[in-house]
Structure 1
Amino acid sequence: MKNLKLSFWICVFLSLVTIAQTKEITLEDIWSNGTFRTERMDALHSMANGQQYSVLDFNRETRSTSIDIYDYKTLKKVETLVSSANLDDILYFTDYTFSEDESKILLATEQESIYRRSTLGKYFVYDVKTKTVQAVADFKIQEPTFSPNGKFVAYGHENNLFYKNLETGEVIQMTTDGKKNEIINGITDWVYEEEFSFVRAFDWNADSNKIAFIRFDETNVPEFSMDVYGSALYQTQQVFKYPKAGEANAVVSLHVFDFETGTTQEVMVDKSYSDFYIPRIKWTNDADVLSAQYMNRHQNELDLWMINTSKNTSNLVLAETDKAYVDVTFNLTFLKDNSFIWTSEKDGYNHIYHYDKTGKLINQVTKGNWEVTDYYGYDEKAKTIFYQSVENGSINRDVYSIKLNGRNKTRLTKSEGTNSAAFSADFSYFINTFSSATTPPEYTLNSASSGNLIKSIKDNDVLSQSLTDYKTSNKEFSTIHVNGNDLNMWMIKPADFDENKQYPLFMFQYSGPGSQQVANRWGSSNDYWYQMLAQKGYVIACVDGRGTGFKGAEFKKVTQKELGKYEVEDQIEAAKQLGALPYIDASRIGIWGWSYGGFMSSNALFKGNDVFKMAIAVAPVTSWRFYDSIYTERYMTTPQENPTGYDENSPINHVDKLKGDFLLVHGTADDNVHVQNTMRLVEALVQADKQFDWAIYTDKNHGIYGGNTRLHLYKKMTNFIDDKLGDKLEANKEDKTKNEIKIKG
């Protein structure tokens, strides 16, 4: 009797454990409840002394924000530098920037997004010593920036540039010709912001007496308009300049405003350019010498100029060329002697180079058949460069140090996965952010000289523990040999995977040039969705085909002038190989993607109509003729020069091949990939008499989010997958239930 009772309680305990470990992920967990939210460190800034750092903290009880200072060695809070709870004019701030001497702080409030990177906001300057606050302006402005001496703040407003004297309160207007959809001074236009990844197109010189800026004349750039439906009786329109492939770009010019004379002069270089870009400007350590990068429209020539703004002279110090294109980076770093650090793919892989101020190569700092993926900075005292690379495998990231002469390379991070670093100002410490497919983000303090762990700062152990309650599966990394290449792949199988059964396969990819989806890092919200689908009985796979990044320039640039050809061939062939596996049902293979991934999934379904049963395309490009000039022409040249490259691989021209099930999704306020892409594809499908499903999200941009939107979208996609691929899943579940009953019996 005693043994029977013991057996009973053991069974109860095991049942409870089993239940605890088989909790199922829901869409509400992912998109509504914040169940899988990760802890992070916000707005980390290393203080100039190199021994302390600041972070932005939010107090949920008082609904206030503060800038708190922490000691690197002890990780203890030293002081609260400023809290909105003590400021009469500011309820809370969302970001902050120090002046160079850290005597003043720029506080951002009431920020609102314009496009992907640009914002408008009200800004205040907080004086650390006097604990006083002054508004930069009484209206919303863009990109306020301290002068190096901390006495001025320059900013953009309604397409013109201004600066405020913080000592006198005087505001000076530097430009007067700014006009919406015609002239922009010092702030990038839409296409520069999106494709060259910056908004502030002005820069202070070292002596705080000159500002260089780029002027955009977009008068002749065609306009694009989007209806904004809102809640009023009549819709409104957003009208903005958007140069599509082959159309007129803004005419750019470089100018310098001189504080002493109060005048602006256009800067010219000693070379005649037509239809060109200025993707970067940056002052050197010499207050009179400005560096500027000029690039031809094809983006396969990049010139680095040194311009003496006092003597009106210019020197071409570096000229990079490539058969395909030259990448623009933010890695240009000037040393004290005005020699400079530069990164380039000229030997076939992205590496670090050191040049003297005239452009003569001193040495190639890093070498090897691997890529430098981030440049963190240069320690002048130790003559050491810090960087991130994929030397330990293209799906991993590690932090390294190396001497400027290329010697004494040291791997500073120890854990295999994705490591990224934020260094102290004196390069004595770094805060490492580590994650992997099995470990959510961890923040640790490490020694910059050895990489050794000093202390743990923050982790996500609570999330890790809570995930043990859910029925999840490992993300399995491997390679698949496709079309002569070993392609990186991950796969997620159901937790109760049975190799004697057959499962539907659902593939995800992005596939854009230089991108990467197969990486050993903690997943995004989509990964929880994949886990949810695996719970239902799907196998999920992702393959990075030709054209993706971090495996060398040749692998990345093979798609040049034919976007959508080799990438689609790789997805189709990978699906065929996976479909041949004994546990995959080759009659039930689907594929999906967003943006470039939507372009790809559409093409895969049309061109691979004997392989894919269904596809979902979210916010897809359907013809590269509809997309912007800088991105598209970088890989395709213009449609006038390369019409077949544009048309032969555009989904809109292959609708007649559709056999499977197709779900098409777009937001009407997508300023990036315009809803025009979907509307034109819809018309082509209708005229080809092809049935399909589609969903339009009102006033939603390229990200399709806000309120209940993401939950609604993922419910729609999940239901579509279940309907088109999951027809045998219920039968499998019934078989499993019967087996369980037999076992219990």
Structure 2
Amino acid sequence: MHVRSFILAALLAANGPALLPGLAPTAVFAQQKQALTLEDIWAKPTFRAATVPGFDWMKDGRYYASLDEGSLVQHEATTGKAAATLVTASALQLPGGARPLAVDGYSFNADEQKVLFTTDTEPIYRRSSRASYYVFDRSTRKLTALSAGGKQSYATFSPDGKRVAFVRDNNVYLVDLGTMKETAVTTTGVRNQLIHGSCDWVYEEEFEFAQAFFWSPDSRQIAFYSFDESQVPEYNMQEWGKLYPEDYRYKYPKAGEKNSVVSISSYDVASTRTTKMDVGPVADQYIPRVTWTQTPNLLSIRRMNRLQNKLEILHGDVTTGKTSVALTDTDKAYVEVTDDDLYYLPGGKQFIFASEKDGYRHLYLHDMSGKEVRQLTKGSWEVSDVARVDAKNGLVYFTSTQEAPMQRHLYRAKLSGGNAERLGEAGVGTDVINLAPDCRYYLNYHSQAGQPQVVSLRDGRTGKLVKTLEDNAKLRHTLSQYTLGSHEFISFKTSDGTQLNGWMIKPANFDANKKYPVLMHVYGGPGSQTVKDDAGGGTAFTNYLWHQLLAQNGYIVVSVDGRGTGARGAAFKKSTYANLGKLETIDQGEGAKYLATLPYVDKSRIGIWGWSFGGYMTALAMTKNADLFKMGISVAPVTNWRYYDTVYTERFLKTPQENPGGYDDNSPVQFAKQLKGKYLLVHGTGDDNVHFQNSIAWVDALIKADKSYQTLYYPNRNHGIYGGNTRLHLYRQMTDFVLQNL
């Protein structure tokens, strides 16, 4: 352990920050409370938020299931009380097994009489994994391994519950649960050449899904992706630890390079016939989503050009493979695709589609030919997520930013038209919704900045509270025992009149007559937000606590969402198109200039830090705005967009062949000579996302420019830089760097 780190932790734990040289003195009242420590935040469960574990709505909407100490238990929705034990932990034991399975997850078949349990799950990349799957029959109480051929990925019941499909070794398989006979749907999959039924690396990361096969509603067909990645260049990372490090090679298309050639097929279960769908003559394109419609044998395929400024919805007959374009959505910058953009209504006559064509993300009703029937939502605000469509009652439930860009609340709109109606009590904060299949009830995960979430069950018709399932009273009490500063939202205008939003954490013993150093936290990527009125989850909440620890040590911490960030309409978000880094860096500089005007800010002691895109922003701030920032920390930064992947980078910058200036004009590597302040660079050598190559190129430029810097690398750690005590170690080093240099 670093000597200064050890002393810092010991003094903080024993006496609070007042005894540390160079830190602001702590008021007497604050000493009566506990001081935050890095161990509290990253090594202990001190601030672990409670939730409703393993929650899964059951089909009738009156009950939900959850895993309770290894057993699968049915709970009554309105009371949360256990109504029945569906599968006991002791039943999840194979013959001759010494103990029950250590269950990672589960899913029901259609009649909820069979359950797929997963165990020994092994992550691959951000969303992909493989595991051992077991089928439990509730009527016979028999537990059976799904396959003896090795671990499987994405095992999924057919809608009629009679079969399970899964992926193994780049091929799709099918198991008949009546006979447990296994059938290979595809046989030609080969690693780093051809993938069936699961995504290649770039689709998984940037189109945000990993399972790439889909049962038809009538269980007769399985539609699946195939990725021919044979022409995609390989990236190799060294895996350290053995006498001779080993290479890990995988297909990663960097900006401007070749992508996988993607095809879509449908497999007929009865005839075992596979039909390839017509996705057009252009191979260099994207198929970001495939969805079954409510019409038998009709598949919906979304097709995008490589620049991602044109989206087409294709409707295809899986018996012939023929397709036709039903709807086209275009944008002068780019079109984004998410899981809740498209919903086909029962009856096969209409669908709901989300578009930014009026300047904000809103919902539109179309007939099956693509003709717009009506706009369902409208206004200078955005639909954030579609929670569910209640076709029976003609309603669509969604969360939106109607109250403020920093907030999210639940609304519903009639498919027949009219104004949207808010559900639940008026108030601030953020609501994350889990709506029951019949929309009778919903789970509401409500939180506000700096306050743990409250999980409540609510009436789907009125939004009224039925029961609070988890209020995190224990965590609230724990937080009340610590010295925490105020968290407030700020807003200011830049020199060109742009209104920007931010938040500020001040020390608990804040004195407006003193001068404080400021650390700015930035992400800043397209469509992102750090300025939200919610508690955040995982790293977001622990970062909040770390910022509080810095405030406890006499720092003000601030975050500003500049141009390019989300929830304020397409024009604000897409203003950075084709020139990533330029306006974003200007706005972080404007934030520093605004802070410098505040009477309690020491303008000579403003620092900045960020991770990933935020690490990139920090590197630019420390060079292009070198006179404004005394210190910076970049974690896992992109330093040259030519090193990043095709889908993300070209969406916002076009290809490097078409827009070389957009890649080079705001690469930190080009501005190494302008670095002035103290700078720390952190990266994991096993980062499959933002390659360690970025930091190598950046360091090489700094050396050539004869600039001083510090580096911290983590062997074999990926983009998240975690595992064991890694996070504790990382944040200890970052804390020391702030204390010593700001």
Asked if these proteins are the same fold (TM beyond 0.5), I'd say yes
> Which amino acid in 2 is paired with 1:76?
K
> Which amino acid in 2 is paired with 1:493?
K
Mapped partners of 1:162, 1:718: distance in 2: 50
User: Which among 291, 298, 309 is matched to residue 300 of structure 1?
Assistant: 309
Instruction: Report SS of the residue matched to 1:221.
Output: coil
Q: Is the 8 A contact 1:107 1:123 kept in 2?
A: yes
2:158 matches 1:153: no
Partner of 1:168: 179
User: Which among 200, 210, 219 is matched to residue 221 of structure 2?
Assistant: 210
User: Which among 270, 273, 276 is matched to residue 260 of structure 1?
Assistant: 270
Max Rg structure:
1
Mapped partners of 1:360, 1:119: distance in 2: 40
Partner of 2:481: 469
Q: Is the 8 A contact 1:20 1:469 kept in 2?
A: no
Which stretch shifts more, 556-565 or 570-579? 570-579
> Which amino acid in 2 is paired with 1:68?
V
Q: Is the 8 A contact 2:639 2:695 kept in 1?
A: yes
Instruction: Report SS of the residue matched to 1:654.
Output: helix
Q: Is the 8 A contact 2:261 2:283 kept in 1?
A: no
Partner of 1:11: none
Partner of 1:520: 533
Identity rate, percent:
46
Q: Is the 8 A contact 2:450 2:544 kept in 1?
A: no
User: Which among 644, 649, 663 is matched to residue 666 of structure 2?
Assistant: 649
The number of residues matched between the two structures is 703
Partner of 1:503: 516
User: Which among 397, 406, 427 is matched to residue 439 of structure 2?
Assistant: 427
Instruction: Report SS of the residue matched to 1:37.
Output: coil
Q: Is the 8 A contact 2:504 2:557 kept in 1?
A: yes
2:360 matches 1:349: yes
Instruction: Report SS of the residue matched to 1:94.
Output: strand
> Which amino acid in 2 is paired with 1:307?
G
Partner of 2:85: 80
2:618 matches 1:601: yes
Partner of 1:738: none
Trace 1:500-649 onto structure 2 (pairs within 5 A): 500-523=513-536, 524-649=541-666
Partner of 1:281: 290
Q: Which 4+ stretches in 1 moved above 6 angstroms?
A: none
Mapped partners of 2:654, 2:516: distance in 1: 42
Instruction: Report SS of the residue matched to 1:109.
Output: strand
Report the alpha carbon displacement of residue 129 of structure 1 after superposing the two structures with TM. Answer: 1.9
Partner of 2:461: 449
Instruction: Report SS of the residue matched to 1:585.
Output: strand
Q: 1:16 to 1:540 in 2, by over 3 A?
A: closer
Mapped partners of 2:185, 2:591: distance in 1: 57
> Which amino acid in 2 is paired with 1:384?
L
> Which amino acid in 1 is paired with 2:92?
L
Report the alpha carbon displacement of residue 348 of structure 1 after superposing the two structures with TM. Answer: 0.4
Q: Is the 8 A contact 1:438 1:474 kept in 2?
A: no
Mapped partners of 1:55, 1:459: distance in 2: 18
Partner of 1:318: 327
Partner of 2:253: 243
Mapped partners of 1:56, 1:87: distance in 2: 12
> Which amino acid in 2 is paired with 1:435?
S
Alignment root-mean-square deviation, CA:
1.5
Mapped partners of 2:216, 2:43: distance in 1: 47
Which deviations, in whole Å up to 9, do the C-alpha atoms of 1:588-646 show, x marking residues without a partner?
11000000000000000001111101100000000000000000000001111111110
Which deviations, in whole Å up to 9, do the C-alpha atoms of 1:92-120 show, x marking residues without a partner?
21111111222211111000110000001
Partner of 1:720: 737
Partner of 1:387: 398
Mapped partners of 1:259, 1:480: distance in 2: 60
Report the alpha carbon displacement of residue 67 of structure 1 after superposing the two structures with TM. Answer: 1.9
Q: Is the 8 A contact 2:486 2:507 kept in 1?
A: no
Report the alpha carbon displacement of residue 16 of structure 1 after superposing the two structures with TM. Answer: 14
Mapped partners of 2:516, 2:218: distance in 1: 66
2:459 matches 1:460: no
Report the alpha carbon displacement of residue 367 of structure 1 after superposing the two structures with TM. Answer: 0.4
Q: 1:78 to 1:35 in 2, by over 3 A?
A: same
User: Which among 124, 129, 133 is matched to residue 119 of structure 1?
Assistant: 129
2:677 matches 1:681: no
Partner of 1:730: none
Report the alpha carbon displacement of residue 20 of structure 1 after superposing the two structures with TM. Answer: 7.1
Instruction: Report SS of the residue matched to 2:711.
Output: strand
> Which amino acid in 1 is paired with 2:499?
D
> Which amino acid in 1 is paired with 2:170?
N
Q: Is the 8 A contact 2:449 2:535 kept in 1?
A: yes
Report the alpha carbon displacement of residue 19 of structure 1 after superposing the two structures with TM. Answer: 6.4
Q: Is the 8 A contact 1:443 1:459 kept in 2?
A: yes
2:127 matches 1:110: no
> Which amino acid in 1 is paired with 2:294?
N
> Which amino acid in 2 is paired with 1:226?
M
Report the alpha carbon displacement of residue 179 of structure 1 after superposing the two structures with TM. Answer: 0.4
Partner of 1:743: none
Q: 1:21 to 1:454 in 2, by over 3 A?
A: farther
Mapped partners of 1:466, 1:309: distance in 2: 57
Report the alpha carbon displacement of residue 18 of structure 1 after superposing the two structures with TM. Answer: 4.0
Instruction: Report SS of the residue matched to 2:338.
Output: coil
User: Which among 650, 665, 685 is matched to residue 668 of structure 1?
Assistant: 685
Instruction: Report SS of the residue matched to 1:111.
Output: strand
Mapped partners of 2:398, 2:267: distance in 1: 35
Which stretch shifts more, 478-487 or 145-154? 478-487
User: Which among 66, 70, 81 is matched to residue 71 of structure 2?
Assistant: 66
Report the alpha carbon displacement of residue 17 of structure 1 after superposing the two structures with TM. Answer: 10
Which deviations, in whole Å up to 9, do the C-alpha atoms of 1:631-666 show, x marking residues without a partner?
000000111111111001011111010111110000
Mapped partners of 1:379, 1:464: distance in 2: 36
Partner of 1:27: 38
User: Which among 698, 701, 707 is matched to residue 718 of structure 2?
Assistant: 701
Report the alpha carbon displacement of residue 33 of structure 1 after superposing the two structures with TM. Answer: 1.0
Mapped partners of 1:83, 1:608: distance in 2: 61
> Which amino acid in 1 is paired with 2:82?
K
Which stretch shifts more, 27-36 or 91-100? 91-100
